[in-house]
């Protein structure tokens, strides 16, 4: 049943980006054409933004209780990143659509080839994108149930907590720590708050699933496109008509040059809309991971530890996905310039060799995905953030 559902998301018009585009449309990151639909989704996005503001209002109220503060920060910082993703995607809607259109057209162009090697590259990264998308959706779905079920799990696994709750020494547990305009610890306000929090948790999980997997697929696409460009450079002198005809060869060089220019143009455009979000995420990630690790080690029973561990795994996995795929694109950027030297350039005449050198010079230009103006999205950044989170954790423990 699940496999059939996933297969139904495939779109022949978007052979690589089909499932991701479907999710972006369903959650309202790609706004519908109708004005009513646009206003509805924008209202939902801004309503959630207001909710995140109420989380920080509550943080001020509970500022004297370290455990409550850490619980609030652990989720509210992730909430800030979530609304940054939704609001920036809506605000830069036209830019995102242009990037997705380029991805679709460039991917469909590459799929017209009959070359065995290039077909293998296409099949490899398409299969990888599908698998990673499914696994990440499963991880987000698990995190949603973990987060929304934490209060219930705490209630069912701790007899002492149930006793304290019944005699009034413990307050009614909630998924999020947020301000509400009514008494959220007693019925009916408590149950209204539960329903409100579950809906918001589902919204946040869907935004994460749609946005993060789309970023991952776009990064994989750029890496695959560079890999295909390297292979095309390698084969540029293998055809007799190109080897013997200088004009045909120069046309081939222009085509390869233009392909690389477009990759640079759209990867820079992609970085311009991704970088601000990654900057906010990098800034908050160390504190978020630190709070999760601290609560994991201070949890009283096995069920709570399991739930905290799953949330921590999600935070680390989310950061790793961005840094790993960005680092992979960087490596392929550096390797693409090897393509012309892997060709049979020695068979070319002097004029053709000069063109090969010019192409090699063009391919040396690279694009690095960044997190704001301060750091690059690489594996070294990922390790640095984990070290920072551990440092904050040891500080809290002391």
User: Each residue of 247-280: pLDDT tens digit?
Assistant: 777 888 889 999 999 999 999 999 999 999 998 8
Q: What is the pLDDT of residues 308-361, one digit of tens each?
A: 777 778 888 888 999 999 999 999 998 998 888 888 877 777 888 888 888 888
pTM, two decimal places: 0.91
Output 66 or 319, whichever has higher pLDDT: 319
Output 96 or 8, whichever has higher pLDDT: 96
- Phi and psi angles of residue 163, each rounded to the nearest 5 degrees, phi first: -65, -45
Q: What is the DSSP string of 109-157?
A: HHTT---HHHHHHHHHHHHHHHHHHHHHHHHHHHHHHHHHHHHHHHHHH
Per the structure, the count of domains in the chain is 1
116-157 and 159-167 helices cross at what angle (nearest 10)? Answer: 60
Residue 299 has what pLDDT? 66
Q: What is the DSSP string of 1-57?
A: -HHHHHHHT-BTTBTTTHHHHHHHHHHTSS--SSHHHHHHHHHHHHHHHHHHHHHHH
Report the SS3 class of residue 75. helix
Using only C-alpha atoms, the chain has a radius of gyration, in whole angstroms, of: 25
Residue 288 has what pLDDT? 78
Could you tell me the residue range of the domain that residue 20 belongs to? 2-397
189-234 and 302-335 helices cross at what angle (nearest 10)? Answer: 30
- Give the dihedral of Cα atoms 20, 43, 99, 375; nearest 10 deg: -90
Q: What is the pLDDT of residues 39-63, one digit of tens each?
A: 999 999 999 999 999 988 888 888 8
Residue 293 has what pLDDT? 75
Strands (E), the chain: 370-371, 375-376
Between CA 139 and CA 209 the distance in angstroms is 9
Q: What is the pLDDT of residues 109-130, one digit of tens each?
A: 999 888 888 999 999 999 999 9
pLDDT beyond 70 at 301: no
Q: What is the pLDDT of residues 136-195, one digit of tens each?
A: 998 888 888 888 877 777 777 777 777 777 777 777 788 888 888 888 888 888 889 989
pLDDT beyond 80 at 282: yes
Burial class for 225, CB neighbours closer than 10 Å (0-12, 13-18, 19+): buried
Answer for the pair 292, 312: CB distance below 8 angstroms, yes or no.
Answer: yes
């Amino acid at each position: 049943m699940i496999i059939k559902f996933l297969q139904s998301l495939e779109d022949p018009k978007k052979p690589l980006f089909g499932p991701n585009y479907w999710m972006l449309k369903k959650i309202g990151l790609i706004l519908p054409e109708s004005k009513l639909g646009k206003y509805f989704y924008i209202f939902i996005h801004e309503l959630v933004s207001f909710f995140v503001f109420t989380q920080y209002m509550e943080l001020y109220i509970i500022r004297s209780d370290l455990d409550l503060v850490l619980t609030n920060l652990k989720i509210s910082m992730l909430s800030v990143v979530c609304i940054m993703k939704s609001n920036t995607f809506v605000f830069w809607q036209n830019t995102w659509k242009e990037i997705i259109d380029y991805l679709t057209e460039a991917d469909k162009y590459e799929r017209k080839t009959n070359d065995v090697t290039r077909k293998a590259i296409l099949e490899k990264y398409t299969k990888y994108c599908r698998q990673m998308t499914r696994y990440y959706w499963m991880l987000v779905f698990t995190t949603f149930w973990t987060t929304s079920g934490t209060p219930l799990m705490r209630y069912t696994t701790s007899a002492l907590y149930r006793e304290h709750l019944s005699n009034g020494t413990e307050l009614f547990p909630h998924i999020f720590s947020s301000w509400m305009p009514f008494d959220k610890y007693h019925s009916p306000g408590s149950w209204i708050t539960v329903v409100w929090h579950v809906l918001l948790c589902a919204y946040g999980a869907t935004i994460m699933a749609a946005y993060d997997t789309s970023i991952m697929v776009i990064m994989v696409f750029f890496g695959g496109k560079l890999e295909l460009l390297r292979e095309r450079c390698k084969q540029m002198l293998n055809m007799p008509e190109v080897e013997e005809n200088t004009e045909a060869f120069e046309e081939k060089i222009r085509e390869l040059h233009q392909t690389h220019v477009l990759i640079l143009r759209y990867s820079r455009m992609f970085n311009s809309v991704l970088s601000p979000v990654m900057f906010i995420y990098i800034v908050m990630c160390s504190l978020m991971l630190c709070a999760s690790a601290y609560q994991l080690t201070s949890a009283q029973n096995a069920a709570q530890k399991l739930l905290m561990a799953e949330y921590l795994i999600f935070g680390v996995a989310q950061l790793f996905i961005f840094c790993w795929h960005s680092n992979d694109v960087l490596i392929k950027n550096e390797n693409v310039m090897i393509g012309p030297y892997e060709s049979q350039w020695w068979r070319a005449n002097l004029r053709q060799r000069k063109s090969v050198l010019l192409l090699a010079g063009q391919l040396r230009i690279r694009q690095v995905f960044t997190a704001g103006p301060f750091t690059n999205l690489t594996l070294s950044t990922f390790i640095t953030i984990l070290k920072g989170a551990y440092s904050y954790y040891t500080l809290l423990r002391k």
